[in-house]
Structures are given as structure tokens and as C-alpha cells.
Amino acid sequence: MLIIKNNSQHNLNSKKKFIKRLILFSSLYIFPVSLFPSEPFNNIQGFYGERAAGLAGAFTAIADDPSGAYYNPAGLGFTHNDGISISASNFKDVKRSYINIDTPGQRYNQTHQGFDPNFIGLLKNFDRWKFAFSIVNTYNYSYNRVDQVNYPLVSPSINSTRNYTKERYNQLLVGPSLAYLLNDKLSLGATLYYMNDTKEVSRTQFQQFSDLSYVMRSYVDNRRTSGLMPVLGIQYQPNPKLSLGFSYRRIFVTGGDRLYNEVYVDSTRRPGSSAVDFIEGTGDGASSIEQGVLTQKPKLVTSIPQTQEMRFGVAFFPTARFLASFDMIHTSGYKVRRNQDEISTIGRRVTYTINDTEVRELTRYSTTNFAAGMEYYLADTFSVLGGIYTNEPNTKPISWTESAVDLYLQNTFGNQVAATSGDASVIYKVARSGTNPRNEYSRNKGFSLGFSWVTSKSSVSVTYIRELGYGNSRIDPNSLAQSFEYMAQSIYIMVSSRN
């Protein structure tokens, strides 16, 4: 927030009121934005395909159905059916709990429920060549909530805060695959996915104070990102009881657009040109009018992190009825830096603000996850599948101590240093840990349990997956870090047919 001194317009009392308003506004401004994830905080968002879900994603060394196009396209080379189609849908129930929000003992729950198709695949066999086409809905989250907090203990001057929220996040992959069986033991494969990643947010916050004054903020934020995601794979079977698989993928962003529009109203302001704040921006540029100050802001981010992922898998087939598989999944980190400085003007006064160059919205930390699964045929046409997996966070660890230090430095020294000469000012802002949009850290673990009915022409399977996690979060930059709990459960229903 930019503060420009003007003694002719502000007396001492108005300055005190403005500082009080500034603190309350910063809480209102950042708290709701950070409350919901704009991008996933963990890299594993779901499972795709018939057997992969039951094996908890430990499928890289198997990959012998159309979902192999996603996990390891080289596995398609070892398929024997002339043609196969598969469709999969899943019901997902997610609950994120933020503990001790505003008031000790108060728990804020963010929930999502949805039933969506998450995988459709086709496979055609031409001797040693295999062709496939797949559609993968990697994640699809929707939120529609109304929340209200009355008389929070941490802010006695606030009577109530209300949030009205509609959000939707979706990523879709569509593309062909090709595999070639070099010999009876070795296969190579590749998939080229077109990626469409979208974010749609609309939100209104209303906050009333003990003197019955109020502030209201309303905004929309829509982003669409397109790109390519190639997947390269190799699979080697040294003997009938052992299979090794490796795949590599990377996201390449090819385009995107974004539109942000915000209006902020404060009932204590005098009518006039500075009574209402406006912020508008796109991927080409952004600007604002706040308290009569015109600011040229950095252009908005239209991309998503262009991370890389490597999967290594091992599968054992000790008997015709039993298999065991193991996967290691390493996802790279990602960081982008660019100029994010601002220029503000009011009358003849010009202020240049130097911001940190890291685009923290895109920052990711590398993760290494593990998955293990098994499949056992109780009968010739009925099998049981099960597995366990980890889902590590791609964010920086959040600690109570760090949040306490951050608040002390902010309250004691502020987060900026200013120098003024005549009508020109330069401000250097230090990035606070409390304003980091990547503000959730949860180490998750999950398990899967599935049942499959298989015939020579078709199969039907049902899989249940449950994931739990614990960690810390900091959704309010003016409060200490709080404990965080994650719980998600999914039911996958998959049907396939073979020719």
C-alpha cells in the first residue's frame, strides 16, 4: 500500500484514522484472497485409469491400458488387444481445515464436492505400433460459499466480516500417444498433450466496524493458460516376472490471458474522486486509483509453473494372480523473477516503488513422492487392488516462529524504506512471509482400495481413495501461523471394453 504525505489534506486525527483503516484493510485485502488455493499446493491431484487408481498411482512399470498414455506411454507397447476404450469418473470430497482463525478455537473449513469424468482413452494395435488418444481431467475444483465471522477477539474494533465466494479451477489434457515395441523386452513411447488450465474467481467481502462504518471489496479474477505437455517413456521387461519403467514430462506454456477487476469502498471517505478505489489489470498491464493515487502496476501473471516430472517404476509378477508395483515420482521446483516495480502519481508528486522481483505466485519447491500397490486375483474374473502413497507439499515450510518474527518486524519497522527529494520519492518494499500467496504446507499420505470384475471383452472397477495431511498455514498476514488439516476421499468408477 502506497502512503503519500500531504499536510494540506490530512490533519493528525485523519492520519490516525487512516493508519487504523490501513491495517484493517490490509487484513481484508489479503485474508480472503489467500483463503483458497489458486494453484495446487501438492503435485498429486488424482489418479487416472482403471488399474492405476487401485494401485495408488504405482503404474509406471505397468501402463498396459490407455491410462498408460499419462503415466508411461511406452507401456502401451506391451498391450495385446486390437482396440480398447476406457472411461473413468470420480466423486471427490475435499475438506481443508484452518484452526484458530481470528478467535482461539475457531475452525474455518473449506469444502469441495464434485462428480466429474477424469479419464477417457482409446487404443489401437497395429502389430508393433500402438496408437492411443486420451483426455485427462487432472483436477476440477468448484467452491460456492458464504462465510461470516462476528466480533473476532483478535480485532475488537470489527463487528463482522462477510465473504461471498465463487471459484472454479480446472486443468484438461488432450492428446495422442504413440508406442513402438522394439523387441519382446523393450518399448518406447511418447504422448503429446494439449493443456488448458483455467481459474475463475468472483468474490465480495463486507466488513463492518464497531462505529458502524464499513468497507466493501468486490472483484473478479479470470485466467486461462494454454500449453503443451509432452510425455516420453521407456519400459523394459528383462524377464516375465519383472518390469522397469521410466517417464519424463514437462509443461511448456504457449499462451494465456487474464482479467482482473476490483472495486473498494470505504464509508468514512468524503465523496469525490478518491471515495472509491479501482484496480484493473490484464497480462499486458495493470493500474489502480487508490485514495486518489494513480499507480502503474506490474502486468498480471498469465502463466502456470512450467515444472518437470520424472517417474521411475518397478513391477513384480511372482505368480499369474499377483503383482506388486512401486513408483518414485520427482517433480522439479520452479521460480521466475521479473521487474515488478510501480510508479505512482498524485498531483506533482511522483513515487517509484521497488518490489521484490520473485513472482511468488509461480514459485514451486521440488517434491519426491512414493507409491506402492498390489493386485491379487481372488478368481479368474475378480481382483482386489490396494496401495499407499505420499503427497508432499510444493511450498516452503511454514512455522509459527517465522510468523512471529515477521509480525514483530512489520509492527516495529514496517516493510519498506523510503527516500524523498522534493516531489520525488523512492520506496523499497521488503517482501513479507505473511503476504506469500503460497501459504499452505501439508504433508499428505493416502491409501487406495479397489475391486475389479474382468472378462475377455470388458471390465468394471470401483476404487476408494482416502488422503490425510497435517501441517501449517498462514491465511491472515496480520496473525500468527495456524495449524492445518487436510482430508479428501474419492470414489472412482471405471468401465472399459476390449475388441
pLDDT digits (tens, 9 = 90+) for 150-207: 877 667 788 888 888 888 999 999 999 999 999 999 999 999 999 999 999 999 989 8
Region class of 49: left (phi > 0), else alpha (psi between -120 and 50), else beta: left
pLDDT digits (tens, 9 = 90+) for 217-260: 999 999 999 999 999 999 999 999 999 999 999 999 999 999 99
CATH number at residue 152: 2.40.160.60
Residue 426's pLDDT band (cuts 50, 70, 90) = very high
Task: Report the largest interatomic distance among the alpha carbons of the chain, rounded to a whole angstrom.
Answer: 88
pLDDT of residue 328: 98
Identify which of 487, 485, 438, 488 has the alpha carbon closest to the alpha carbon of residue 98: 485
Domain contains 340: yes
Domain contains 1: no
In order of 92, 378, 393, 478, the CA distances from 462 in angstroms are: 14, 16, 28, 45
Domain contains 8: no
Helices in 343-399 by DSSP H: which ranges? none
Domain contains 341: yes
Domain contains 4: no
pLDDT digits (tens, 9 = 90+) for 374-421: 999 999 999 999 999 999 999 999 999 999 999 888 888 788 889 999
Count of domains forming the chain: 1
| Residue 20 scores a pLDDT above 70 | no
Helices in 89-233 by DSSP H: which ranges? none
The answer, as to whether pTM is greater than 0.75, is yes
Greater pLDDT, 451 or 435: 451
Identity at 62, one-letter amino acid code? I
Separation of CA 412 from chain center: 34
Segment 24-52 mean pLDDT? 64
Q: Please say whether the beta carbons of 51 and 452 come within 8 A.
A: yes
Domain contains 7: no
pLDDT of residue 81: 73
Q: Could you list the residue range(s) of the whole structural domain that residue 145 is in?
A: 22-498
Greater pLDDT, 412 or 320: 320
Q: Please say whether the beta carbons of 224 and 197 come within 8 A.
A: yes
CA-angle at 129, arms to 123 and 134, nearest 5°: 25
What percent of the chain lies above the pLDDT cut of 90? 62
Q: To 10 degrees, the CA torsion angle through 189, 123, 491, 37? A: 50
- Distance in angstroms (rounded) separating the CA atoms of residues 461 and 492: 8
Segment 305-315 mean pLDDT? 98
Domain contains 9: no
Domain contains 401: yes
